[in-house]
Structure 1
Amino acid sequence: MKKWFLISTIVLLMIINTNPASAISNAPIHWGFTKGKNEQQAEAGKAYDELLRKHHAFYKGDPNKKVLYLTFDNGYENGYTPKVLDVLKKEKVPAIFFVTGHYLTSEPKLVQRMVNEGHLIGNHSWSHPDLTQVSNEKLKEELKKVKDETARITKQKEMHYLRPPRGILSERTMQLANEEGYTHVLWSLAFKDWLVDQQKGWKYSYDNIMAQVHPGAVLLLHTVSKDNADALEKVIKDLKARGYTFKRIDKFK
């Protein structure tokens, strides 16, 4: 009996040790937070703050420094990214563009321009799936294909930042991303800007950004939005006038 118990215990330990991810939750988290206002920071709550800290992820920076981080999600091109890049170049503002496989294969020249002009390319997955619903192997493949194709068409050989598709993540996906050398970059400022058939004019974008902005904000914008492209230059100039500066996400503190 004792021998059988010992063998059973050893087998159980082997199973646990060979599958450590089994103890990690894959419960989907749909990223959300209480929006910032009056230049007070957005808040996701203690539980999310602790979970992100555990996996070296972040969604906002130092509340005492008027530093902003521009991030753009690029699933496909809608004709406005060149204008966005023109504004960033004119205003000397860096950004990170989270791209998909579709964007890399359809717009390699724009991706190359991003890197040439000092911006970062981030990983938004190859096919934009809900990463909590794919296997470990598929998740790694999704990230590797974006990294490899970016390296092939640009001078950026390394990739360390991940924006989860649809803002859906779990502790499992964060841990796997960490193992692959990635940090989850979430956001503390966003609004419904991605619906191309519901654009409302540049002031809609401008007003939403200015109402939510706060020290340390990580801004999520979509380049498919005409509103964003038309508002961006005024947004940047007016935020600079308020004393804000812009840093690239790899300078995050």
Structure 2
Amino acid sequence: VKRINSAGHEIFNHTYSHPNLTTISDVQIKEEFEKTETIISQLIGKSTKPFFRPPYGSRNLHVREFSASLGYQDVYWSIDALDWKESTGTTAQDVKDRILNNLAPGNIYLMHIGDNLTGQVLDSVIQEINSRGYSILSLYKAVTTYQ
């Protein structure tokens, strides 16, 4: 986490234990956010607010409103790169194609940093995105600029 932060990447909340937020109580949701917030802020000296991504993308109006009352805005993705589906036959080329075949201004791509497939394609995907004239923005800049 410290290395990611030192490299200039943003770190936002994704909960502590990765539960489906639509199936747990408000107390549990708050605990998930607070535990992660405490750990991350102790490590890097910054808050994970204002954004979070709900695990599995599971959200509903109540989760959005309750999260907002805690100071969080949920951010969803436009395109799931499906890098998490390696065990079902998805290949690195599939992930790369899914991203590059769906390039569009304002898109947010869901990828997983610990995933083997992402590591295989990320550098070439970034190069290709840039070569096509797109700019990659931080989440904060993208959301605050284009929301």
TM-score (ref. length: structure 1) = 0.54
Give the Cα separation in 1 of the matches to 2:139 and 2:112: 17
Runs of 4+ in 1 over 4 A off after TM superposition: none
User: Which has a greater percent of helix?
Assistant: 2
**Alpha carbons 1:199, 1:227 under 8 Å: kept:** no
Give the Cα separation in 2 of the matches to 1:200 and 1:132: 28
**Equivalence map 1:7-156=2 (5 Å):** 111-156=1-46
Q: 1:203 corresponds to which residue?
A: 93
Deviation at 1:122, TM superposition (A): 1.3
Q: 1:216 corresponds to which residue?
A: 106
Letter in 2 for 1:236: I
Q: 2:56 aligns with which of 139, 158, 166?
A: 166
Deviation at 1:206, TM superposition (A): 1.1
SS in 1 for 2:110: strand
- Report the aligned-residue RMSD: 1.5
For CA contacts below 8 A with separation 6 or more, give which structure has more relative contact order: 1
Compare 190-199 and 113-122 and name the one that shifted more: 190-199
Deviation at 1:117, TM superposition (A): 1.0
**Alpha carbons 2:96, 2:125 under 8 Å: kept:** yes
Deviation at 1:200, TM superposition (A): 4.3
Letter in 2 for 1:153: L
**Alpha carbons 2:21, 2:29 under 8 Å: kept:** yes
**Alpha carbons 1:161, 1:185 under 8 Å: kept:** yes
How many residues are paired up? 143
Give the Cα separation in 2 of the matches to 1:200 and 1:217: 21
Deviation at 1:179, TM superposition (A): 0.7
**Alpha carbons 2:11, 2:48 under 8 Å: kept:** no
Distance 1:135 1:191, change over 3 A: same
Deviation at 1:156, TM superposition (A): 1.9
User: Which has a greater percent of strand?
Assistant: 1
What are the ranges of 5 or more consecutive residues in structure 2 without an aligned counterpart? none
Larger radius of gyration: 1
Distance 1:226 1:237, change over 3 A: same
Identity %: 29
**Equivalence map 1:240-251=2 (5 Å):** 240-251=130-141
Letter in 2 for 1:225: D
Letter in 2 for 1:181: G
**Alpha carbons 1:131, 1:169 under 8 Å: kept:** yes
